[in-house]
Amino acid sequence: MIETATSQPEPVITIRTVDGPRDVDIYTPEGFAIVADLFTRSGWQNKLSYEVTWLGIPIIQLPEDIVMVQELIWKVRPEVVIETGVAHGGGLVLYASVLELLGRGRVVGVDVEIRKYNRLAIESHPLAHRIHLVEGSSVEPETVDQVRSLVGSGQGTMVMLDSNHSRDHVRHELELYAPFVSPGSYVVVFDEVMPMVADAPNAKPGWDRDNPLEAVRDFLGTHPEFVIDPAYERLRTTYCRSGFLRRVED
Ligand SMILES: C[S@@+](CC[C@H](N)C(=O)[O-])C[C@H]1O[C@@H](n2cnc3c(N)ncnc32)[C@H](O)[C@@H]1O
């Protein structure tokens, strides 16, 4: 059956405020922001980011973030994209696919455990010629040394941090990987959604404090060469809120 407009609920959300309940029209900017945040939270609980593939490989990202990352790589045109946290490899293939159309560039993917079938799928993908895999914890000195030797003298490096999402781990990664980022390029920190969904049934205790957003806040306090670029949050539905960090030009 095709639902008609008359079967829809009223376009008003009642929110609780300290001054009592207030109705918000969903067609206003405020209403849109509330609906988008509710969608993000409910979508997280319902594992939306596990639904998507990119050119055949599962990618654990929100569709809106995928579109924003595509815009970012097309605009910045990096020579190298480093990603910590590979999983199935969909992120690597996404970055490689944009670089392929630009006709240049390489992707370096780091994961503490690259499972056999994920490695096989990545290494047999049509874009494998642009992808290098490094197995090891992203914060181990030997891993960073391997990444450094793969990046070489490449000018124009971008970094995606999507591995262990604890505050301390992301803070450590920012210290180790931000120096790779060229002026005008970006480090993108994933999963800032954690404090937003800290009340969800699937959340882990402590996510309201132990999350990548706290790491970003701390990092920015001592690294004025990086600023948050809100342009890449304009779709509102994102797991990278305050997570697109641009290195200012020298
Ligand atoms: C959310 S998934 C990454 C999703 C992927 N970026 C994508 O776009 O589909 C997180 C990955 O981080 C990896 N990981 C966890 N701790 C890590 C660490 N210390 N160093 C490197 N990778 C780690 C896990 O093995 C897992 O594969």
Residues 155 and 219 in one domain: yes
Instruction: State the closest ligand 1 atom to the C-alpha of 89, by its place in the atom list counted from 1.
Output: 9
Q: Are 155 and 132 in contact (CB under 8 A)?
A: no
Whether 114 lines ligand 1, by a CB cut-off of 6 Å, is no
Residue whose CB lies within 8 A of the most ligand 1 atoms, among 86, 165, 167, 174, for a mutation test: 86
Same domain, 162 and 220: yes
- Residue 7, pLDDT score: 76
Q: Dump pLDDT digits (tens) for 131-177.
A: 999 999 999 999 999 999 999 986 799 999 999 999 999 999 999 99
* Domain identity same for 40 and 58: no
Residue nearest to atom 8 of ligand 1 (CA): 91
Taking 3-state DSSP, the helix, strand and coil percentages for the chain, each rounded to the nearest 5, stand at 40, 20, 40
Ligand 1 centroid from CA 31, angstroms: 34
Torsion angles phi and psi, residue 109, rounded to 5: -110, 130
pLDDT in tens, 208-233: 999 999 999 999 999 999 999 999 99
Average pLDDT over residues 195-205: 97
CB hemisphere CA count around 120 (13 angstroms) = 3
Task: Quickly tell me which residue has 């509710």 as its tokens.
Answer: 38
Q: Is 17 helix (H, G, I), strand (E, B) or coil?
A: strand
Q: Would you say residue 27 has pLDDT above 90? A: yes
**Do 209 and 86 share a structural domain?**
yes
* pLDDT tens per residue, range 74-129: 999 999 999 999 999 999 999 999 999 999 999 999 999 999 999 999 999 999 99
| 140 DSSP 8-state letter | S
pTM: 0.95
Give yes or no: residues 37 and 9 share one domain. yes
Distance 164 CA to ligand 1 centre (A): 6
Distance between start and end Cα atoms, the chain: 59
Q: How many residues does the chain have?
A: 250
- Read off the CATH number of the domain in which 178 is found: 3.40.50.150
Strand positions, DSSP E, the chain: 12-17, 20-25, 53-54, 57-58, 80-84, 106-111, 131-135, 157-161, 186-189, 226-228, 244-247
pLDDT band, very low/low/confident/very high, at 6 (cuts 50, 70, 90):
low
Shared-domain flag, residues 92 and 203? yes
pLDDT at 249: 87
5 band by pLDDT with thresholds 50, 70 and 90: low
How many angstroms does the Cα of residue 85 sit away from the middle of ligand 1? 3
pLDDT of 8: 84
Please tell me whether residues 85 and 199 are part of one structural domain: yes
CA distance linking residue 84 with residue 33, whole number of Å: 30
- In this structure, the answer to whether residues 9 and 70 fall within a common structural domain is no
* Amino acid identity, position 241: R
Position 9 confidence tier, pLDDT thresholds 50, 70, 90? confident
- The angle, 0 to 180 degrees and rounded to 10, between the axes of the packed helices 167-177 and 141-151 is 40
Same domain, 34 and 61: no
Q: What separation in Å is there between the alpha carbon of 23 and the centre of ligand 1?
A: 41
* Ligand 1 binding pocket mutation candidate from 54, 95, 133, 163 (most atoms within 8 A of CB): 163
In 124-157, which residue ranges form alpha helices assigned H by DSSP? Answer: 141-151
Q: What is the arithmetic mean of pLDDT over 36-51?
A: 96
* CA–CA gap between residue 98 and residue 107 (Å, rounded): 11
Q: How far is the CA of 165 from the centre of ligand 1 (A)?
A: 9
Say if residue 167 is in the same domain as residue 184. yes
15 and 85 co-located in one domain? no
Number of domains in the chain: 2
Which residue range(s) make up the domain with 39? 5-46
Answer yes or no: do 122 and 229 share one domain.
yes
Is there an atom of ligand 1 within 6 Å of 143 CB?
A: no
Distance (Å) from CA 217 to ligand 1 centroid: 21
